[in-house]
Chain A
Amino acid sequence: MKPAAFDYFAPGTVDEALGLLADYGGDAKPLAGGQSLVPTMNFRLAQPAVLVDLNGIEELFFIREEEGGLRCGAMTRQRSVERSALVQRISPLLHEAMPHIAHSQIRNRGTIGGSLAHADPAAELPVLAVALDARMYVRSVTDARWVSARDFYMGLFATAMLPEEMLVEVAFPTLPSGSGWAFDEVARQHGNYAMCGAAAVVGLDGRRVVERARLVFLSVGEGPVEAEQAAALLVGEQPNAEAIRAAAETAATQDIDPVGDIHAGPAFRRHLARVIAERVLTRACERAAGTEGQ
């Protein structure tokens, strides 16, 4: 379990890093927190010829409020996001979900951008990005563009980024008033990859009828999986237990088509999806209505 030989660069600026990616293209891999990349290299499943270590690029480490939303530099440690009062205030869903990501030791090192760009279908952050309508700021030497999270994810470990591009920043918009949110997941052990998980964001109108709903799953497909039929079912409804149960059922049976692995077969995943959907939708609706804990 020793990695194959590679060349190593430690640029000090984003421009330098992008220059290296432009030079080496597909042969290069940016190294963020290394919590996925390094084990993969040790197993020799990944053998990049060049590593571009982003850990010395100070301009990529930040959390700030901008245009009423949250902006995080790609190299911001997950633990910093978890502990940020700003994140808690502007993006409470993100705050609630962070402790579910692996173990604290991993979050100390792991970065928000690293996880978003890695696009692991079992990861929490891509699901949160889609649920929250986050936008990714992607740069190359020649180009810079914002990509919505929905367009960013293209399948198993695949994103809309080209080899010479790099994720430098992510923006999470503030939820409109009347919104409720929730995240939950079920893992066999705390800190392990979840067998299933979901984020829900629900918006109620002045009459307390659901006007917006989004339910996004992890670990049931090749990336973040949106339960669109379930969400559509909920819109226009009073957020009562019956409506939520029906939406959860639809999510589990219509919206997802999970495959099994050694920890959870397809039937159990569907079962968990229904259980979790009901839990997160209930909590999100309660929060939206201001009745949480009542």
Chain B
Amino acid sequence: MSTRQFGQPIKRNEDPRLLAGRALFTDDVQLAGMLHVAFLRSDLAHARIRSIDLGGAKERPGVAAVYTADDLGEYWQPGPLLVPPPPVGQLEFHPRTQVPLAKDKVRHAGEAVAVVVAESRYLAEDELDDIFVDYEPLDAVVDLEDALESGTPLVHDDLGHNINARGTQTKGDWAQAEDAADLVIRRRFHYDRGTAAAIENRGIVASWDDKSQQLTIWDTTQAPIAIRNGLAGMLGLSEHQVRVIAPFIGGGFGPKIMMFYPEEVLLAWATLQLGRPLKWIEDREENFYATTQERGQVHDATMALKNDGTVLGIKDVFLHDAGAYAPYGLTLPISSQCTLLGPYVVPEYHSEFTSVFTNKPIVTPYRGAGRQHGVFVMERLLDIAAKELGIDPISIRRKNYIQPDQFPYSNEIIFQDFTQLTYDSGNYEPALDRALELIGYQDFIRENQPRREAVGERVGISVVSYIEGTGIGPYEGARVTVEASGKVSVATGVGTQGQGHYTSFAQVVADQIGVAASDVHVVTGDTDLFYWGAGTFASRGAVVAGNAMHAAATKVRDKILKMAGEKLEAAEEDLELIEGRVQVKGVPQTSISIGELAVEANPMRGAVRPGTEPGLEATEYYGPERGATASGVHAMILRVDPETFLLEIEKYVVVHDCGTVINPLILEGQIQGGVAQGIGNAFYEQLHFDENGALRNASLMDYLLPTAADVPNIVSDHMETPSPLNPLGVKGAGEAGAIPVGALFAQALDNAFRDIGLEVREIPLSPNRLFELVTEASARGNA
């Protein structure tokens, strides 16, 4: 028997190319006659544009063109609303989307005002210095609460207010819970902004070929098909005239699926104007303004409980920072609303959000995508409730978990995929027990912590639970082809940004066809090679594209068996596929290679039976009825230097359940990378905007990313509760590592400073902020 490859920790097919520098990234694309593009970006967050003086710009040697909004004519249009509002009962919605170049007014620092095309990026940037924009500075909308005050400046004047949307979702009746409660706790929680800081910034190469009438675009996008369709529409071209290639990409994390970035719209248009290929590579400074960000929310949350720790209900009213434009609709606040409920039974729930326009860069999903906030609020409420009720934080979680026999479990409200929030499957308590065992919970509480605290150390432990809605629709597709060489190719529409798709997808297909995963060549992100699809987001690649591949591979397998059965004069059920050959079970002498079958399936002469399809090939699509719900438990032991407030993570445990595992090695990498980003989010990364909306730390010198020295070894284990929603039983895992880390830091710090009653209610933290919180808590204790 050949070994099953699905589920094995196979090393990644793509790594030799990536490690040796033989993988094509957008900036590697060099075309004859290529020009370079730079953008003039506003220094001010909010200002009226009185006039733009190009100075001597156009006359500079080496400059091909300078464009402002007025030069775009009818092409100047606000971008599309990517996600319409879901069918939520009470909803007020005021969409405003980003524009290619600011006209009349700039609404966030870094918004593009003019575009320059020149022989080199150096010349293009010199050129920017020639242009003078006469701005009338306006007061900026920075703080979420201030944004809603009357008389406050308006981000979008025509709206008359700064409200992007308001929405309320309810389950049961919160008032009942409040009435029946033994304890009601109310707290305010803050979560602030960070940036994904992918190692590769965005980049675009656009090339119009006048003779073939073809537009080719290399783009660091997570959604090449949607980019092709959109650009073709905007430019009045057929979709067949536009080819979008998303080559190797150094990290997506969500911001690379924003559409359409002004740069995408403008480069595609300008190459048609100039008839020459154009390149723009975002630099790190631009990335801090021009690439979307996430995570500003303020929650006023109330939890009602019985004395025994049973949660009766939650009321949460929150503000969401949408930034200057909101192309993603309500995805983020809805995701926060839904994820807050976590793995717990919450009978009565009232959640009300206001999404607020501010003069800050655009907000769209970034790894976790609203989930961090929900988990933070829920886990903090449980911790605070446990403290007030005098029960331990583990028991209160255990007590409120949804039980295995309650699935599918409906939370009644609407999820970001427009379906009812229903968990497909889950088994939470074994994961909790395993995490406690791996972290050494009892030993820490009983022995380690008291011993160390006796000599003046500060150490804390934390354990948090969360769920992650993953693998949502609408659909993806895949085409599986056996080539004459006997190797297999798979094409799909989703883009790939480092997730290991070249391997995990290959594993899904390899078992069906009976070849090694290394003999399966995966093609992603080229619209000429696969026409249909949505994109890579919401931890959905493995679930949605993976199941489409499985379906296509199964169909190809059927074709192989049928054909081989005829050739070998054997019944199909007597055949097996091993190492690229079909053989009669147990009789290797009677066999034929799939490569030979592929050649025969593509006859060059002669007659075939009517209805014959050529090739050993199949294309299938998969669309889940709703998302699959993954879950997990993270645990941590944290040491705080009581003098410097620097932290050391002594131990970090992840027990995760994403259903059936395709490749444990890749999963491990996803979890570790996510945790690293979570650690950054919790203690290092914060975007500091001043009262004028200027970003004070737009460089990696002042925006601190966690380094290898800050990220501990992560001990992980995996539970497998398969999803009943898809044939592979898989759930998404891309965001799981990042989601609960803020809540985990808060609980561990509270634990380490429990003698002074520290209660952390905000993320991100820093040594400075921790010093302030501890000083305040000590002062309160002494008062």
Residues of A bordering B, CB below 8 Å? 1-5, 39, 43-44, 186, 188-193, 195, 262-265, 267-268, 271-272, 275
Contacts and interface: CB of A to CB of B under 8 A. Distances in A.
A262 B698 CA distance: 12
Contacts of B709: 189-190
A2 B710 CA distance: 31
Interface string B690-717: 0000001101011010110110000000
A19 to B, nearest CB: 29
A268 B768 contact: yes
A264 B646 CA distance: 12
Given A188-B684, A189-B706, 17 more contacts: A1-B283, A1-B284, A2-B121, A2-B125, A43-B699, A188-B704, A189-B709, A190-B709, A191-B707, A192-B701, A262-B696, A262-B702, A263-B768, A265-B768, A268-B645, A268-B772, A272-B644
B202 to A, nearest CB: 14
Given A268-B772, A271-B771, A188 B766 contact: yes
> 8 nearest interchain CB pairs?
A1-B283, A275-B643, A268-B768, A262-B688, A2-B122, A2-B125, A268-B771, A186-B644
Contacts of B498: none
Given A1-B285, A188-B766, A189-B710, A275 B644 contact: yes
Nearest to A272: B644
Interface string B162-181: 00000000000000000000
Nearest to A43: B285
A264 B707 contact: no
A1 B285 CA distance: 7
25 contacts: A1-B283, A3-B122, A4-B126, A4-B129, A5-B126, A43-B285, A44-B125, A186-B767, A188-B684, A188-B704, A189-B684, A190-B707, A191-B707, A192-B701, A195-B767, A262-B688, A263-B702, A265-B768, A267-B771, A267-B775, A268-B645, A268-B767, A268-B768, A271-B771, A272-B644
Nearest to A279: B643
A195 B645 CA distance: 12
Contacts of B706: 189
Interface in B264-309: 283-285
Contacts of A5: 122, 126
A278 to B, nearest CB: 9
A192 B704 contact: yes
Nearest to B770: A268
A44 B124 CA distance: 14
B40 to A, nearest CB: 13
Contacts of B699: 43
Contacts of A191: 707
A188 B122 contact: no
B772 A265 contact: yes
Interface of B: 121-122, 125-126, 129, 283-285, 643-646, 684, 686, 688, 696-697, 699, 701-702, 704, 706-707, 709-710, 766-768, 771-772, 775
Contacts of B768: 195, 263-265, 268
Given A188-B704, A192-B704, A264 B767 contact: yes
A268 B766 CA distance: 11
A242 B285 CA distance: 49
B121 to A, nearest CB: 6
Contacts of A264: 767-768
A271 B125 CA distance: 44
Contacts of A189: 684, 704, 706-707, 709-710
B125 to A, nearest CB: 5
A245 B285 CA distance: 44
Nearest to B697: A262
Nearest to B284: A1
A4 B771 CA distance: 42
A203 to B, nearest CB: 27
A264 B769 CA distance: 8
Contacts of B772: 265, 267-268
B643 A188 contact: no
A50 B643 CA distance: 46
A246 B121 CA distance: 57
B5 to A, nearest CB: 40
A128 to B, nearest CB: 21
A259 to B, nearest CB: 13
B699 to A, nearest CB: 8
A202 B771 CA distance: 30
Nearest to A193: B701
A16 B301 CA distance: 70
Q: Which of A2, A4, A39, A275 has the most CB of B within 10 A?
A: A2
Contacts of A263: 702, 766, 768
A188 B285 contact: no
B405 to A, nearest CB: 47
Nearest to A265: B768
A186 B646 contact: yes
Contacts of A43: 285, 699
A169 B121 CA distance: 38
B194 to A, nearest CB: 13
Most buried by B among A3, A4, A193, A262: A262
A223 to B, nearest CB: 20
A188 B129 contact: no
Contacts of A188: 646, 684, 704, 766-767
A195 B684 CA distance: 14
B774 to A, nearest CB: 10
A159 B706 CA distance: 35
Nearest to B122: A2
Nearest to A186: B644
A4 to B, nearest CB: 6
Contacts of B283: 1
A192 B772 CA distance: 22
Contacts of B125: 1-2, 4, 44
Contacts of B702: 262-263
A2 to B, nearest CB: 5
Contacts of B704: 188-189, 192
Contacts of A262: 686, 688, 696-697, 702
A248 B151 CA distance: 50
Contacts of A39: 701
Contacts of B645: 268
B327 to A, nearest CB: 27
Contacts of A193: 701
A263 B644 CA distance: 13
B626 to A, nearest CB: 42
A263 B686 CA distance: 10
A267 B122 CA distance: 43
A267 B706 CA distance: 25
Contacts of B710: 189
B641 to A, nearest CB: 9
Nearest to A190: B709
Contacts of B686: 262
Nearest to A264: B768
A113 to B, nearest CB: 22
Contacts of A186: 644, 646, 767
A22 B686 CA distance: 45
Contacts of B643: 275
A19 B699 CA distance: 36
